[in-house]
Structure 1
Amino acid sequence: MLLKLDLTDSRPLHEQVAGAIRRAIAEGECAPGDRLPPARELSRALGVNANTVLRGLRALRDEGVLEFRRGRGVTVLAGADQRARLVDQAGALLAEATRLGYSRADLVELIRRLP
Structure 2
Amino acid sequence: MLLTLDLNDQRPLHEQVAGAIRRAIAEGSYAPGDRLPPARDLADALGINANTVLRALRELRDEGVLEFRRGRGVSVASLVEGRLAIVLRLRELLEEAGRYGYSREDLIEMLKELP
TM-score by length of 1: 0.94
Which runs of no fewer than 5 residues in structure 1 stay unpaired? none
Distance in 1 (alpha carbons) for counterparts of 2:82 and 2:39: 23
> Paired residue for 1:67?
67
Distance in 2 (alpha carbons) for counterparts of 1:81 and 1:9: 27
> Paired residue for 1:58?
58
> Paired residue for 1:16?
16
Count of aligned positions: 115
> Paired residue for 2:48?
48
Q: How much has 1:60 moved relative to structure 2? A: 0.4
Q: How much has 1:55 moved relative to structure 2? A: 0.5
Q: How much has 1:78 moved relative to structure 2? A: 1.6
With 20-29 and 89-98 compared, the bigger mean Cα shift is at 89-98
- Tell me the SS of whatever aligns to 1:67: strand
Distance in 1 (alpha carbons) for counterparts of 2:18 and 2:109: 26
> Paired residue for 1:83?
83
> Paired residue for 2:3?
3
**Contact residue 22 and residue 84 of structure 1 kept, 8 A:** yes
**Contact residue 28 and residue 81 of structure 1 kept, 8 A:** no
Q: Percent identity?
A: 70
The Cα RMSD (Å) is: 1.0
**Contact residue 35 and residue 74 of structure 1 kept, 8 A:** yes
**Contact residue 26 and residue 82 of structure 1 kept, 8 A:** no
Q: How much has 1:79 moved relative to structure 2? A: 2.9
Distance in 2 (alpha carbons) for counterparts of 1:26 and 1:82: 10
- Tell me the SS of whatever aligns to 1:2: coil
Which structure has the higher relative contact order (CA within 8 Å, separation 6+)?
A: 1
- Tell me the SS of whatever aligns to 2:9: coil
Distance in 2 (alpha carbons) for counterparts of 1:76 and 1:83: 12
Could you tell me which amino acid in structure 2 is paired with residue 24 of structure 1?
A
